[in-house]
C-alpha cells in the first residue's frame, strides 16, 4: 500500500502532509501509525524548529475511519487485545504533543472527531475561512477520548469543551478564533501559507530557547492531563460494548437519527 504521509524539509522547517486520496481523509489505523512515526522523527531532532501538519486542500480530516477493516477487527476483539489496539489514537496525539519543535496545524474544511483531537495536540492551529471543528463522538454513542479533553480545556475552558465534546456543537472558523481553538483564520486555501509564514518566523528564533519555552508552557497547561484523561481509553472500550454505541454507528451509516436508551 502507498504511504499516506509525506515529509518535506525547508531549512529548519518540516512539512508533514497526510492524504488518503479519498474525500473524508479519515484516520485509518495505517494512517495513524504513519502520522505517529512522522511525529517521532522530530522528537529528538535539533535541526528542526517548526513542524507544519496539514491534510489535503478541501478537508483536514473527518475523523476516525469507521469503515477501516483494522478498526472493525479491533471492535470485535476481546478486551485484552482491544485495549492494545485502541491505543493507536492516544499514541498518535501524544506523539505530536511531544514533538520538540513548535507544531503548527493548517486546517482547511472540516476537522472532525479524531482530526480535532490531533489538531488540539499541536501548538497552534490555522483555519481556513470555511473550516469547521466538530466532535460528534457523543452523537455516535461514545465518549471523546485520545487524551483530548484536558487539551481542549486548556485551550477553550471547561464550558466550551462541554459544548464541543458533550453537546457536539459545530464550531466555525471565526468562532474557533474567538474561543482560542484557532490562532488565525485565513481565506480559504491560505491556511498552509499562513502556517509556513509562522514557521519561518519560528525558524529565525534561537531554537533551544524557543523549545524550552514551549515545553515549560505545556507542563504548566497540562500538569493534570494524565490525572484527568487516564481512563478515557477504558471508558471508550466500555462504551463499545453498549447498545447506544451500536445504535450510534448504525444510525450514522444509515443516515438517520439514532434512538438512544442509555444501555
pLDDT tens per residue, range 15-46: 999 999 999 999 999 999 999 999 999 999 99
Q: Is the CB of residue 122 less than 8 Å from the CB of residue 105?
A: yes
Q: Is the CB of residue 106 less than 8 Å from the CB of residue 191?
A: yes
- Give the model's pLDDT for residue 2: 64
CA–CA gap between residue 240 and residue 30 (Å, rounded)? 21
Of residues 199, 184, 193, 202, the one with CA closest to residue 57:
193
Measured on CA atoms in the order 74, 147, 160, 133, is the torsion positive or negative? negative
CA–CA gap between residue 159 and residue 57 (Å, rounded)? 31
- For 5-191+204-208, give the CATH class: alpha beta
- Give the model's pLDDT for residue 1: 53
Per residue in 158-194, pLDDT tens? 999 999 999 999 999 999 999 999 999 999 999 999 9
- Give the model's pLDDT for residue 30: 94
- Give the model's pLDDT for residue 81: 84
- Give the model's pLDDT for residue 119: 98
pTM (2 d.p.) = 0.94
CA–CA gap between residue 102 and residue 192 (Å, rounded)? 15
The residue ranges of the chain whose pLDDT is under 70 are 1-2
Query: By three-state DSSP, how is residue 51 classified?
Result: strand
Amino acid at each position: 500500500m502507498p504511504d499516506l504521509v509525506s515529509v518535506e524539509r525547508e531549512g529548519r522547517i518540516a512539512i508533514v502532509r497526510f492524504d488518503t486520496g479519498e474525500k473524508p481523509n479519515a484516520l485509518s489505523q495505517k494512517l495513524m501509525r504513519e502520522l505517529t512515526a512522522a511525529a517521532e522523527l522530530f522528537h529528538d531532532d535539533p535541526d528542526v524548529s517548526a513542524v507544519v501538519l496539514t491534510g489535503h486542500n478541501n478537508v483536514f480530516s473527518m475523523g476516525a475511519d469507521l469503515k477501516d477493516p483494522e478498526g472493525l477487527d479491533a471492535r470485535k476483539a476481546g478486551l485484552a487485545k482491544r485495549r492494545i489496539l485502541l491505543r493507536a489514537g492516544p499514541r498518535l496525539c501524544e506523539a505530536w504533543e511531544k514533538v520538540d519543535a513548535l507544531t503548527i496545524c493548517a486546517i482547511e474544511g472540516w476537522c472532525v472527531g479524531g482530526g480535532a483531537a490531533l489538531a488540539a495536540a499541536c501548538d497552534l492551529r490555522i483555519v481556513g475561512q470555511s473550516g469547521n471543528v466538530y466532535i460528534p463522538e457523543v452523537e455516535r454513542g461514545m465518549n471523546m477520548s485520545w487524551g483530548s479533553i484536558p487539551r481542549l480545556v486548556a485551550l477553550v475552558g471547561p464550558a466550551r469543551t462541554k459544548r464541543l465534546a458533550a453537546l457536539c456543537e459545530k464550531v466555525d472558523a471565526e468562532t474557533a478564533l474567538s474561543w482560542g481553538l484557532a490562532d488565525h483564520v485565513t481565506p480559504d486555501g491560505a491556511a498552509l501559507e499562513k502556517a509556513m509564514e509562522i514557521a519561518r518566523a519560528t525558524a529565525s528564533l534561537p531554537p533551544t530557547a524557543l523549545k524550552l519555552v514551549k515545553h515549560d508552557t505545556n507542563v504548566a497547561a497540562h500538569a493534570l492531563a494524565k490525572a484527568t484523561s487516564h481512563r478515557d481509553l477504558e471508558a471508550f472500550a466500555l462504551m463499545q460494548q453498549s447498545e447506544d454505541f451500536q445504535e450510534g454507528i448504525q444510525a450514522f451509516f444509515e443516515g438517520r437519527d439514532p434512538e438512544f436508551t442509555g444501555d
